[in-house]
Amino acid sequence: RKYKREMNLRKKCHNELVRLKGNIRVLCRVRPICQEEAEAEGKSVVSFDSDDDAVLYLSNKGKLMAFDMDKVFPPQATQAEVFQEVQSLVTSCMDGYNVCIFAYGQTGSGKTYTMEGIPENPGINQRALRLLFSEVSEKMPDWHYTITVSMVEIYNETLRNLLGDNPSEKLDIKMCPDGSGQLYVPGLTEFTVESVEDINKVFELGHMNRATACTNLNEHSSRSHALLIVNVAGFNSSTGHRTSGKLNLVDLAGSERISKSGAEGSRLREAQCINKSLSALGDVINALRSRHSHVPFRNSRLTYLLQDSLSGESKTLMLVQVSPLDSNIIESVCSLKFAQRVRTVELGTASSSR
């Protein structure tokens, strides 16, 4: 029975991967209106189609705009339902794929809720590691896996090693000297995790280090990108077969246009840096879409770091987060338009500039 279950699961994953191959899947999640917003009589401008869970409508100045996604999660969708949609992607890193899941949207749209979640209701990061542990134990004793995690923050185009002893030390991205085209970050701390307790410790340390060296954590995290990098190396003791995959889970900085008027000094630099890496991500997406021979991965730390998960045989999924409020409609339209462009990207056919 166990064999049959495994075969069915494999078949399901395989079909899913064939469907995903080469394309960026885009899921949209609309967060609920919170109590304060309801008390302030914030109005929702989003609506859904009960027969089609892949379309979202926005009512913009009396005009109804439709956005096609791979799937739309309404405000009542649970963390478990969202995770169910991404879990086959998560486990594909055990078969040696590079996977990237990134949350995009304006500050306050629910990116951190989706990726990190809250202690009583964890998000994708925690669920992904738990799932990997359970898959790893299912595959024993034939397969042995080593799972290591790193946490990186990109702030003002600077990489911080969130699990290191000295989180203010700046790190750089380098090309592996072995000619494999793989990138690595010298000095980046990697923790081997073997249990749920290990992950909790890692997340706690990452949070603590992220909070030190900044005065206002909320503001700081909305202006920086947080990456959880999970390396999964497998070894089959009877066949000698090895696999090596990577899962990047990314909570991006807020996508809102920061008003440049009035911003000076460090604030202006911050605004330029956030815009730089998000617009660099947009440029990479555009180059991949139009199959340019040159894809400008190196124009920002973010795109450079994600290069091997945004090209070739990698699997990428974007979660576009949307606030339902009419006061956020301009940003929602921008995010959803970007998401529509991302949906038409084919990674498999792209050649990357190295």
Which stretches of the chain bind ligand ADP, using CB under 6 A?
31-32, 34, 105, 107-113, 222, 321
State residue 117 phi and psi, 5-degree precision: 80, -165
CA-CA distance, 71 to 34, in Å (whole number)? 23
Q: Token pair of 296, please?
A: 């400008």
Q: Exposed e or buried b for every residue in 91-125, given b needs 16+ CB within 10 A?
A: bbbbebbbbbbbbbbbbbbbbbbbbbbeeeebbbb
Q: Cβ of residue 299: shortest distance to ligand ADP, in angstroms?
A: 24
**Cβ-based nearer residue to ligand ADP, 189 or 323:** 323
Helix (H) or strand (E) holding 27: strand 24-30
Q: Cβ of residue 218: shortest distance to ligand ADP, in angstroms?
A: 8
**Cβ-based nearer residue to ligand ADP, 64 or 211:** 211
Rounded (10°) CA dihedral 129, 160, 258, 30: 0
Q: Cβ of residue 175: shortest distance to ligand ADP, in angstroms?
A: 32
CA-CA distance, 272 to 106, in Å (whole number)? 16
Q: Token pair of 288, please?
A: 């991949």
**Cβ-based nearer residue to ligand ADP, 105 or 122:** 105
Q: Cβ of residue 76: shortest distance to ligand ADP, in angstroms?
A: 9
**Cβ-based nearer residue to ligand ADP, 64 or 217:** 217
Q: Cβ of residue 113: shortest distance to ligand ADP, in angstroms?
A: 3
List alpha helices for the chain, DSSP H: 2-20, 35-39, 79-91, 111-115, 124-139, 196-211, 217-222, 265-289, 301-305, 329-343
What would you report as the CA-atom Rg of the chain, rounded to the nearest whole angstrom? 20
Q: Cβ of residue 250: shortest distance to ligand ADP, in angstroms?
A: 12
Q: Token pair of 231, please?
A: 């390396």
CA-CA distance, 27 to 68, in Å (whole number)? 10
Q: Cβ of residue 186: shortest distance to ligand ADP, in angstroms?
A: 30
Residue with nearest beta carbon to ligand ADP: 110
Q: Cβ of residue 142: shortest distance to ligand ADP, in angstroms?
A: 39
Rounded (10°) CA dihedral 78, 81, 83, 87: 170
Taking CA atoms, 65 is separated from 57, 110, 160, in Å, by 5, 22, 40
**Cβ-based nearer residue to ligand ADP, 303 or 321:** 321
Which candidate, 85, 160, 113, places its Cα nearest to that of 321? 113
**Cβ-based nearer residue to ligand ADP, 218 or 290:** 218
**Cβ-based nearer residue to ligand ADP, 107 or 311:** 107
**Cβ-based nearer residue to ligand ADP, 31 or 225:** 31
CA-CA distance, 170 to 75, in Å (whole number)? 39
**Cβ-based nearer residue to ligand ADP, 25 or 111:** 111
Q: Cβ of residue 230: shortest distance to ligand ADP, in angstroms?
A: 20
